[in-house]
Structure 1
Amino acid sequence: MPSVLRQLAACLVASSLCTTASMLPATAKDFGPSEVAAKENGFEIFNAVHSALRQWGSSLNHNGLSLFLATVPKGVLLYHGTHTTELPPGPEWLAFETEHAENFARPWRRPGGLRPTPPEGRMFDQHMHGLHGRLVVDNEESIPLGPNETVHGNLHIYRVTKPLRLLYIDGMGAGKCSLGTLDTQDLLLRGIRDHSPMGEFERAADLCAIAKEWELQGVIRMEAGFEIIKCDFSDSMELVSANQRPDFSNPGNTGYPEVQLLEYIRAVSQRYYGIGASRVAVDYSSMVSAMFYPVNLTNPDSQRPDLPRLVSATDKQLEVIRSRVAEVVNERFDGTHTNTIDWQGVTDMIVARYSERLKYMAEEIDTLVMFQGEVNNLINLHIEYARNDDDTLKLAVGRCTKYHTASIAPESPEDRLILAGIESVTSNICSTLFHVRELIVVDPDADSGSLVAAREAIQDLVNRLKWVEWRNCPKCGYDEVCFVAMWPMGDEESHYHPACRNSSAIATGLGFGSYWGPNDWPPPRKPDDNNTNGDGHRDL
């Protein structure tokens, strides 16, 4: 094997990183962002950018650790389900899909029962009735209902009148569970380590206080559907309509319970690969991620090493990251850094070029000549065949690594960190492909054993990349939806092996007793701040 290939292979084995980007200066004396950390977390950074504001990847990689600025343009329609026709008096939730909001706009009735004090008392009884609209009282302060009084559901439609400036919290940020989906909000933004996952109104109030400080109008998060926590409904929106929904006995409700769940999931599934219609613009160059920092992201739960957590980060470390988010918000809005790079488009191009070919080589090719052809097809354009020495191959690997990023001129510090993360991934891809080329193309004695070694190298690469496209479903029937676990729905099977499911099959995975675990919140361990390494539902 030529020495350059031996060096590349050794680099892959030692650290999975082969880039030449320089280290950024730290933003604090002892702790700050660095390209070294970005390279070490390159695969995760790549996947976070690739899945930003996409339901599919954000459901599979649900413990998000990144924040972005996002804007909802003028004219976009947003939806709110509630028990009244009046504007919410404080922070409340908006949906992007009518089916999402309709879940919170259903009528309910308890003859002689209690009406919960709105809105804190509203919570879906997921255990008993799925998403069919039964509400339970979760508040001791209640108003008696008359013997046959009914509270009607209402669907509000709002039009954005001025662009909404928002903070996007990636992953399953609206997932109220103890798996780590709330780490960015509760630990990083709010500075709270032992808060209940269901304390949504307190959480919304805290997030809106931060938004006000940063001159934002709310946040975007995701559960089974994307939502906005809008801090003031009278700001930059107008109410288009507030229409009462059909009661249970109304002909308009006929057949609704039978199809509601399937059609809700169908609507959400249509946002698997984008929220659609330019309804949200993400400023990818504003990305601030814990993965840019030398912080311990290990999950204390040894049973889930795949889920990164912030519980081992010190308060001082979290404050440094939070301060950088505030700085970026100010910089992006005061004109210091205005250009944004479509980093998600870059990751899309890389995934489109390699995903199917890598899977084909890893799982299906069983002849040496076909494997040789696929490898040559992918990397021939980077090789100068007039020369054949180590320097030539090293240059070829470098051209391959920067093939999709060579024309990009990073402007902000975050751009350089994202670039470092992405190029650590392409370096891994290219180094592996050139290593495979050496095994089965350059070696004149390549045989079936060489083919096995080449396939194993590609399989190892696929395992490290963890691209979410590889877990997608084949085309489903019209009465089915490709179903992945999305809080609060989904069993373990639907997380690890998403598949086409019909309405009754989806219903079996509802509730907190499935993939998302019990509704508890054990206080995580608080690390020593001197250790700089840092070892109830609502309207919508």
Structure 2
Amino acid sequence: MRSVKKAAVWLFLAVERVLTAQIPLLPDYHEESLDFYSHFERSPRQWDLDEPHAVNATGNLVFETANSLLQHWANTRYRIGHTIIPGIVPVGTILYHGALSGPHIPTTPDWVAMEPEHSMVFCSGSVETGCWHVTFAVTRPMKVLYFDGSSAANIPEGTMDTQDLVAWSEMRPEWVDNEEQRIQDLCKWGLQNGINGLVRMEVNFEIMICNFTSHMEVISFSNLDSPRLKIGNVTDLPEDPNSVHHAFEIMHSTSWRENYPGETRIVLDYSALISFYDTDLVPSLMPRRVGLERWDHRVAGISPEDIERVEDRLAQVLERPPVTASGIDWKTVLRSVVDRYASRLDVMQYLTNITLDDTPVLLDRARKVQRQLRTMLAPYILLAALPPRDSVEVNATHSWAAPVFQGCATTHTSFIGTRGILTPSERLLLQAVQETSREICRVITRIWASGFIAGLDPLYPADQDIPADRIRTLMGEWKEDIARLMSWLDWSIWVKCRPACGVEEMCYLPTWPIGFFPPDHPFQAWNSASTPWPDPNEGEWKRPQPKCIRRLEPYGF
């Protein structure tokens, strides 16, 4: 046994010696040149660690909206949608419809739900007659168009903007509650453009179906025991616990689609994505966002010229054959960036969020941050690029770390950039990944380089004690840099209940229509007696914050 261990140690050392002796292959970080360093010499400003993202850059916004498609949590947090994207509901997908008019399949456009808990709200009937509930199966791929955000929330703050544009080529805020006209006109437009369904998000995801016989068949048409949900005639909440329980179970079923991968029963075509954060496609919205937080971004205010440009682009993406796209799995490309950095940035923010003036604790945390940084950057730290720590020049500018910055920033996109076949939507997504990766890598490389020179790197520790003042200064700078980066990225994956909710609770974001009912509506009793019908432009309804609520009786917010 001992000889086996000795052999293993010998093999490890031999492999390490061989790998150390090898000259690392220099990656083709940019399509402009096969020589990494010669390219770097031609464009040094691009990899300047002190050059932040452009003030008016929207790559972070395109990135996070595209990364959040069909995820309930992110689209509840930011209700006003900025993306339109076609997709397919695959064969075999099960859809549900609560019939309001008895045992009849709708002959006009109507709604289906992705979960029966949602559709049964509309399964009306008395205790004596029961109610009718239809289960459909998709029989051939159904082409749909998805509007992101809380696009089925009938509130006047902008959730209907993109639908108004498609249906009527203008915003019609006076029709915010006119769902019958909206579904008729969207389906009229849709059927002319090969679209049979419009996907939206309410308390859960739903599809406006334009023709119930063209892509689906009935699996069951069931006369159910009525769920006895009393909507509209209950004034005292405790008398209707079944309705409250059912509403909470809808939210429970919604939680299955809260985060990545989201609603997987709808497959989106990212190569046909249209974003209102695309400044080339929709330049008129740029000045309207200046100085506003993302909660306040609207599509309303778009110019007639930009509306026409969006309509032309939408017609093009719906007409083109799929073979014109690159075949790149953009959903995975976006997610790979999030997976690589989200949890580590979260940990580093925690480590730097310290107010103690205890030098040993600060030093321990600084070293832990440095180890996280080295782990993230390890694939790009070329041996030939490392400097002597006592160099005056590296202490001043950290320019020696530019190759590390460039390698990190381009690893997810260098291959894509060499592809000749990219649709306009794909070029937008490529730019979004490039801008996002660049800023992440600029910040973490800059922090790592300062820690490296200070002697905090685990592989190159300082030969002597690091002055306490220097540690405090570094930790203060790192805290600000990480906070600024995470605020700019604004990934919804970081928005969670802290501490985590208990077993009998669920983490909840204020979700339309819960809490948005008129004062005489039964569910309004869920709010405290002193809380008026909430203004969607105020408080937690405008800027939803997560909180733990009970998912078992007694319910409450």
**Is TM more than 0.5 here?**
yes
Matched, 1:314 2:303: yes
Give the drift of 1:487: 1.7
The change in CA–CA distance for 1:177 and 1:249 in structure 2 (over 3 A counts) is closer
Is 1:360 the counterpart of 2:331? The answer is: no
Deviates more, 1:399-408 or 1:274-283: 274-283
Counterpart-to-counterpart distance in 2, 1:47 and 1:249: 40
TM-score where L is the length of structure 1: 0.74
Q: For residues 162-181 of structure 1, what are the alpha-carbon distances to aligned partners after superposition, in whole Å with 9 as ceiling and x for unaligned?
A: 11011111111111111211
- Cα contact 2:71–2:257 (8 A) shared by 1: yes
Q: CA deviation at 1:103?
A: 1.0
State whether structure 2 residue 111 is matched by structure 1 residue 87. no
* Correspondences of 1:149-168 after superposition (within 5 Å): 152-168=130-146
Matched residue, 1:501: 549
Determine which of 494, 502, 519 is the counterpart of 1:470. Answer: 494
1:248-291 CA distance string (max 9 Å, x none): 789xx997335212211100111112577842211111111121
1:229-308 correspondence runs (5 A):
229-247=208-226, 256-273=242-259, 278-293=264-279, 294-297=283-286, 306-308=295-297
CA shift digits 1:492-514 (9 cap, x unpaired): 547532122115899766xxxxx
Any gaps of 5 or more consecutive residues in structure 1?
Answer: 17-36, 110-149, 510-540
Structure-2 separation of matches of 1:472 and 1:187: 33
What's the TM-score, normalizing by structure 2?
A: 0.72
Which of 150, 164, 173 is matched with 1:186 structurally?
164
* Higher Rg of the two aligned structures: 2
Does the Cα contact within 8 Å between 1:299 and 1:305 map onto a contact in 2? no
Q: Distance in 1 between matches of 2:66 and 2:322?
A: 23
Q: Which residue of 2 aligns with 1:485?
A: 510
Q: Tell me the residue number matched to 2:192.
A: 213
Residue among 395, 398, 415 paired with 2:426: 415
CA distance in 2, matches of 1:185, 1:287: 15
SS at match of 1:227: strand
**Cα distance 1:454–1:186, how it changes in 2: closer, same or farther (>3 A)?**
same
- Corresponding residue SS for 1:453: helix
1:196 maps to which residue?
Answer: 175
- Say yes or no: does 1:329 pair with 2:324: no
Contact 1:160–1:237 (Cα < 8 Å) also in 2:
yes
Residues 185 and 151 (structure 1), Cα distance of their counterparts in 2 relative to 1, 3 Å cut: farther
Structure 2 counterpart of 1:377, which letter? T
Shift of 1:315: 1.3
Residue by residue over 1:469-519, the C-alpha shift from the partner in whole angstroms, topping out at 9 and shown as x without a partner, is 11123653443222112221257547532122115899766xxxxxxxxxx
Distance 1:455 1:193 in 2: 43
Query: Structure with the greater relative contact order (CA < 8 A, sep ≥ 6): 1 or 2?
Result: 1
* Structure 1 stretch displaced more, 240-249 or 153-162: 240-249
User: Residue deviations 1:337-390, cap 9 Å, x none?
Assistant: 255422221222111111111111112244222222222221132121223477
Is residue 370–residue 451 contact of structure 2 (8 Å, CA) maintained in 1?
A: yes
> Match of 1:100?
118
Give the direction of change, closer, same or farther, for the CA distance of 1:6–1:274 in structure 2 (3 Å limit): closer
Gap runs ≥5 in structure 2: 1-42, 230-238, 353-361, 388-397, 456-465, 516-533
Q: Deviations over 1:292-321 (max 9, x none)?
A: 132315668988653321222111211101
- Counterparts of residues 368-379 of structure 1 (less than 5 Å): 368-379=366-377
Summarize deviations over 1:4-45 as a string: whole Å, max 9, x none. 699734421x615xxxxxxxxxxxxxxxxxxxx8xx211111
Is 1:78 aligned to 2:56, yes or no?
no
Q: Provide, for residues 215-239 of structure 1, a one-character-per-residue CA deviation record: whole Å limited to 9, x for no partner.
A: 1112111111111100011111111
